[in-house]
Structure 1
């Protein structure tokens, strides 16, 4: 699905990482690990076109997304990407329902199923019946559940998660990992920048950014998903 080829990132004379090669497949969870300052979030931001590499290419279905025009970047983010951030990125003075509606508006196929999709997504993350609650009344764990529900409604092909469990307790961390695993089983590719050993061990592939090395940790990807990558 995604092929990172000889990617490098520098800030002035400092090379953050160089010559990175990495393949990200559908139906697979990939952990980006490394010490603070190793560039995990920067690599994630390059995958999401929020930052630009210094050299190299990021191929999505054969196209180098680093060369996309502004219009192509907007379409890629709208049609392919889903984000899960440590600080949730929700509209705090809006309701749960209004936050999830934002994910359906750019996707025409979802517009006619908005209420059903939102209700089902909130039920999956344990927030059934709370569509009218305001975000600013929720706990941190509940807000991350809303962010997950937003991803479920959006149905992205690629999820980028930046330290999504850093401020969560064990139960909410398990819920995040389980939901992302369900999405990967449905054919989504999930990439997580994390310091959490438990999250790392739950992933199929671990990429140590500071060493530019890959380790397979669990299962193989189903053949029918590999054929789509």
Structure 2
């Protein structure tokens, strides 16, 4: 069993310290370009450290194996293949993690507080099924680019029902590409997150679109960064 490294937390703290320093300096010079720049800084992201992680995985694939090895707070896997997912988790010593099909996911999710939802599949049906439920307002979603059906999710984000971030795999990472969803949810520094106006293309996929809903969209710009991360994690086990 392996988990994410301590340096991730120190980097996050350093980033927050830098953000607070910029805001503080800007407050000393109101009405100046420096002050205006500080006012334009986005709010610091919600602290989700220690909150439960739910992984939506279409199958017992590489994304599930990586999440089991790196996400300490993983509590639930929602999948189309419950038995196979259970076998993967047990083999990695994650017997405490629950497994559910999408039809029972809402009942299995913790009843209080925010939940990190990792959409590790290009099929987001499990998440779409939760729209309109009491649970969805507590989800903090990191969703892999979908193969279709983005419309309802984007609409939920537009209305504030769903807190949604997107990620796209780097083609150079091959089979490991989709695991960028796990890395982004864990706020690993090699995932480049930027705010992008987003719409839906003719195939029902998320797409950059002028005037669209502004969402955080992450990529791993350097092919091989995910493999290097996993090598470090496994080497420290």
Compute the TM-score of the two structures, normalised by the length of structure 2: 0.32
Higher relative contact order (CA 8 A, sep 6+): 1
Give the TM-score normalised by the residue count of structure 1.
0.33
Larger radius of gyration: 2
